Amino acid sequence: MDDDKLIEEAARLISGAGRLVAFSGAGVSEESGIPTFRDPGGLWDRYNPSEIGSGDIFAEALSGSPIPDATFQFVSEFISCFEKTGPNPGHEALGRLEEMGILRAVITQNIDNLHREAGNSNVIEVHGNVYRLACMMCGNRVVLDRDEFLCAGRDLIECLGKNDLAGLIKLASRCNCGGVCRLDVVNFGEPVQDLPRAVLEAKNCDLMLILGTSGVVWPAATLPGHAKKAGAKLVEINATDCCFPDIIDVGIVGKTGVVLPRIVELVRGMR
């Protein structure tokens, strides 16, 4: 089946869906300029995670551990990406599907907040969100706006460049309980967030969109299987190859920012 026919079939399935859920990975945000972690040329291809540290800079500063040199370069690149990025047409297409009353939830492995910026309201972020802080003492969470996050990021880069541990500790936002906050993202060895809620959405959907994910990061990669086992149809859109070939009903090789807007326009005409 050629791409046009696949896109038409995907639109037909979405138009008839009663409980549509999207499951997105790093490939969706890569189209906004945010590098992936695991692909060739991605962050873990250029930075050795063991050389960066635990990933929790503030906890390391509190312990008095020296900040690895590689951490400065990693954080500088990371913040620079966020200064220049925004939702791409793929994110915006999902926002339109929610506006149309079709899309029920987005489950994402991305931490960049772009689904929310594009208008999705029910977003399950299994790896956390860089725009959110979590108190290391009581667990209270604080949401930052874009300007607050970028300002804190620039201050963080300055402290790292000077290896200023005292400055890092001062920079860490303090909770009302007196505890120090960290970015509310999942680091190596930590459990994912909101997994029971994500599994419930997967099991209760009648159609799942699988978007830009390699299908190798567990336990998130189990979610399409949960949906399929519960009887849902699966549509996968991936720029490189379909990663769930044994269980998908429609597989389209292409960028979500190109393919998904075409599908959404067809859906508009079908409803």
pLDDT over 90 at 174, yes or no: no
Distances (CA, A) of 176 to 59, 139, 140, 149, 179: 18, 11, 9, 19, 7
Tens digit of each residue's pLDDT (9 = 90 or more) over 61-108: 556 666 667 777 777 887 888 888 899 999 999 999 999 999 999 999
Amino acid identity at 100: M
Choice between 11 and 157, residue whose per-residue pLDDT is larger: 11
Percent of the chain with pLDDT over 90: 54
Dihedral over alpha carbons 91, 129, 123, 146 (to 10 degrees): -60
Of the candidates 91, 115, 127, 226, the residue annotated as catalytic is 127
Helix (H) or strand (E) run with residue 143 in it: strand 141-143
pLDDT over 50 at 122, yes or no: yes
pLDDT over 90 at 23, yes or no: yes
What integer pLDDT is reported at residue 54 of this predicted model? 47
Amino acid identity at 78: F
| DSSP SS3 for 105 | strand
115 is catalytic: no
Mean pLDDT of 114-139: 94
227-241 as b/e: b if 16+ CB within 10 A: bbeeebbbbbbbbee
Q: Among 73-82, 122-131, 141-150, which stretch is predicted with the lowest mean pLDDT? A: 73-82
pLDDT over 60 at 55, yes or no: no
The highest-confidence range among 81-85, 155-159, 178-182, 241-245, by mean pLDDT, is 241-245
CA distance 233 to 215: 17
